[in-house]
Chain A
Amino acid sequence: MDNVKKYFGIVFLLLGIALAFYLPYNAINRLGSSTATSEDYIFWIVIITIFIPIIAGFILFGYYAFKGEYRESN
């Protein structure tokens, strides 16, 4: 089980890194379009502001899992 926790830790770490790039990329694309309204700007600024620290937390969670912090013996 400890190995499963470790391997899934790598998956979460990579997923977090992918999200950290995808989210701002998606926001720039949406806000760059000619149809973007002021409401879209607030929505995406709020999303980026609040989700980037959460994604950082997710990457940290993956890292801890990979390092064995959630081992049965811990």
Chain B
Amino acid sequence: MEPNLQSVSPSEGKKLRNVITASSVGTLIEWYDFYIFGSLATILSAQFFPKDNPTAAFLSTLATFAAGFIVRPFGALFFGRLGDIIGRKYTFLVTLVLMGGSTFAIGLVPGYSSIGYAAPVLVLLLRLLQGLALGGEYGGAATYVAEHSPKNKRGFYTSFIQTTATLGLFLSLGVILLTRQSVGVESFNSWGWRIPFILSSLLVVVSIVIRMKMQESPLFSKIKAEGRTSTNPLKESFGKKENLKMVLLALFGATAGQGVIWYTGQFYALSFIQKVMNVEFVQSNYIIAIGLLIATPFFIIFGGWSDKIGRKGIMMTGMLLSILLYRPIYKEMYAITDLTKKQEITAQTKTDINSARPNSTSSTTLRTYSDGMVYKEVKIESLDGSAPPELKKEITLPAKSFWLLIALIAVQVLFVAMVYGPIAAFLVELFPTRIRYTSMSLPYHIGNGVFGGLTPFIAISLTSMPGATPFDGLWYPIAVTAITLIIGLIYIKQSPAGGLEN
């Protein structure tokens, strides 16, 4: 039977906590594994995909796009089907092993300079396995927790799964910054980057041990005992109109908007801070990490609240706020480092022979502004004109601007929490137990992986169009969210948390 609050005894309460911990820790590790690759993209490029080699650069682009956009939905289909046939527990145990194994292996692959083309090919294959594993993990964890949860606490309990993507990003940033600080920048770029990958194996082993002790979801066990499991979940999910129309509604009325809001508030924000505002690397990562940490509890607050007032209202409000406030927020962010609006106090320029690039000079200019902001500009010019000049800009923020930027990031993560906190409960309630894993995984990974994952690329391509402003990249998330909001408002029924047994 589906658990309800009245029947939750202290021992069942403890069991529920174990279910949430086992699922959340594993999913968090999977997100961590997935994000360290992205966060270390520049270093991995230098190690495995040298830019002056076209084949290696081609493999690099393939690794970036294929893992995020193509393989994740296939992982959702492959593991979703398995989860609906053999069960949730064993399936999301397999995804964890697959993710942990491939992450660990990336940390051990010798560089391009040692084994040539084998290096980028191996890394590409391992990255594809990561994408496949991630595609299967989330649906399993969300379904497993939801099928253990009492009806009136489902939003609250599944919201712990929802915090894992953000915490996984936070953990990846934290481990990278700590490792970089411990071994030094040069050692980190040379070999220290391997530590975050290898460390993953320890985390995965702990998580596997915890998950091995868990039992199969009660709802799945029940339908399995009654012989009511689906023999062909893919056909049933996408071949029957009754289910297919709900898959389409979940995608276009919820997960597409959720995906772009998730990526705008976290990844595009980081890219904007580093590339448009030119904020220094470590400071920019701290800004995102602290912003994430401040807003993360709200995933649970909104998830829990959705049990009382419904999922739809909270998700749609988050989307509306994003549409209305993205541009004002990014304009405010931009103004923080807008040099034309600041009063310069001192400027100091120093020119040296550049030791990193032969036959070139580097000229460093340091400008200090009245609010305490420091602007550093390094211009590298070749003496014989053999290479184009290189300009590097870097801004170090004073405390006040630093915290203002954190607040602006935290507000964006708050929007993420509004749409993402209740969405696991919303998705599991749309589909019957026999095809739940398959049916909810696909719209989630198309929404999050494709619509969301493409946000930085499409936004950057919009801002690089002739006559574009730095804020034009926001039209992509705004447009996708607006369509999702309209569809969600019109077609999704506002209903209280329902049963999962149908």
Residues in A whose Cβ lies below 8 Å from that of B241: 64, 69
Which of B58, B69, B244, B493 contacts A38 (CB under 8 A)? B58
Whether B234 sits at the interface, judged by CB under 8 Å, is no
Cβ–Cβ contact A69 & B245, under 8 A: yes
**CA separation between A4 and B450, bound complex, in Å?**
29
Which residues of A are found within 8 Å of B358, using beta-carbon distances?
none
Give complex CA distance A69, B491 in Å. Answer: 10
Q: Quick one: which of B245, B454, B457, B486 contacts A64, CB cutoff 8 A?
A: B245
B105 interface contact, C-beta 8 A = no
A39 with B61, Cβ < 8 A, contacts A46-B66, A50-B450 known: yes
Residue of A nearest to B73 (CB): A50
What is the CB-to-nearest-CB distance from B69 to chain A, in angstroms, rounded to a whole number?
5
Instruction: Chain B residues near A43: list those with CB within 8 A.
Output: 61, 65, 457
Q: Give chain A nearest CB distance to B61 CB in angstroms.
A: 5
Check if A70 is an interface residue, CB within 8 A of chain B: yes
Chain B residues 54-111 with CB under 8 Å of chain A are: 54, 57-58, 61-62, 65-66, 69-70
Range class of the B interface residue count:
20 to 34
Residues of B near A69 (CB, < 8 A) are: 241, 245
Residues on A with beta carbons closer than 8 Å to the beta carbon of B46: none
> Which of these, A46, A50, A57, A72, contacts B248 with CB under 8 Å?
A57
The answer to whether A5 and B491 have CB atoms under 8 Å apart is yes
Chain A nearest CB, measured from B83 CB (Å) = 22
B252 to chain A minimum Cβ distance, whole angstroms, is: 5
Is there contact, CB below 8 Å, between A42 and B252?
no
- Residues of B contacting A65 with CB < 8 Å? 491
A18 within 8 A of B: no
B454 to chain A: closest CB distance in Å? 8
* Bound complex: CA A12 to CA B209 (Å): 48
Answer whether A61 and B248 are a contact pair too, CB < 8 Å, given A42-B61, A70-B491.
yes
Binary B-proximity of A40-74 (CB < 8 A = 1, otherwise 0): 00110011011100100110110011000110100
Beta-carbon contact of A57 and B251 below 8 Å: yes
Of residues 459 through 497 on chain B, the ones whose CB sits less than 8 Å from some CB of chain A are 486-487, 490-491, 493
Q: Does B287 contact A (CB under 8 A)?
A: no
Determine how close the nearest CB of chain A comes to the CB of B485; give it in whole angstroms. Answer: 12
Contact with B along A1-12 (1 / 0, CB 8 A): 100110010001
Q: Say what secondary structure dominates the interface of chain A.
A: helix
Q: Is B176 on the interface with A (CB-CB < 8 A)?
A: no
Complex contacts, A46 vs chain B, CB 8 Å: 65-66, 69-70
Q: Are A42 and B446 in contact (CB under 8 A)?
A: no
Across-interface contacts of A70 in B (CB, < 8 A): 245, 249, 491
Minimum CB–CB distance from A50 to chain B (whole Å) comes to: 5
- Contact (Cβ within 8 A) B65 A61: no
CB-CB nearest in chain B for A58: B252
Give bound CA distance, A60 to B245, whole Å. Answer: 9
Which B residues are in CB contact (< 8 Å) with A12? Answer: 252, 487
Q: Chain B 384-399, CB within 8 Å of chain A: the 1/0 string?
A: 0000000000000000
**In the complex, A37→B61 CA distance in Å?**
12
In the complex the two chains form, what is the Cα distance from A61 to B446 in whole Å?
Answer: 15
Q: Complex: how many Å from CA A60 to CA B487?
A: 14
Complex CA gap A70/B245 in Å reads 8
Other-chain contact of B486, A8, A38, A51 (Cβ < 8 Å): A8
Residues of the A chain whose Cβ atoms lie less than 8 Å from the Cβ of B251: 54, 57
Q: Which residues of A contact B58 (CB under 8 A)?
A: 38-39, 42
Residue of A nearest to B447 (CB): A54
Task: Give chain A nearest CB distance to B489 CB in angstroms.
Answer: 10
Which residues of B221-240 have CB atoms within 8 Å of chain A's CB atoms? none
Inter-chain CA distance A59–B373, complex, in Å, is 51
Complex Cα distance, B249 from A16, in Å, reads 15
Instruction: Report the separation of the CA atoms of residues A1 and B241 in the bound assembly, to the nearest whole angstrom.
Output: 22
23 contacts between A and B (CB under 8 A): A4-B490, A5-B490, A5-B491, A8-B486, A12-B487, A38-B54, A38-B57, A38-B58, A39-B61, A42-B61, A42-B62, A43-B61, A43-B457, A46-B69, A47-B454, A50-B450, A57-B248, A57-B251, A60-B244, A61-B487, A69-B241, A70-B249, A72-B493
Q: Which residues of B contact A (CB under 8 A)?
A: 54, 57-58, 61-62, 65-66, 69-70, 241, 244-245, 248-249, 251-252, 446, 450, 454, 457, 486-487, 490-491, 493
Q: A46-B70, A47-B454, A64-B241 are in contact. List 8 more A-B contacts (CB 8 A).
A: A38-B54, A38-B57, A39-B58, A42-B58, A46-B65, A51-B450, A61-B252, A64-B245
Cβ-closest 4 pairs across A and B: A61-B248, A46-B65, A42-B61, A70-B491
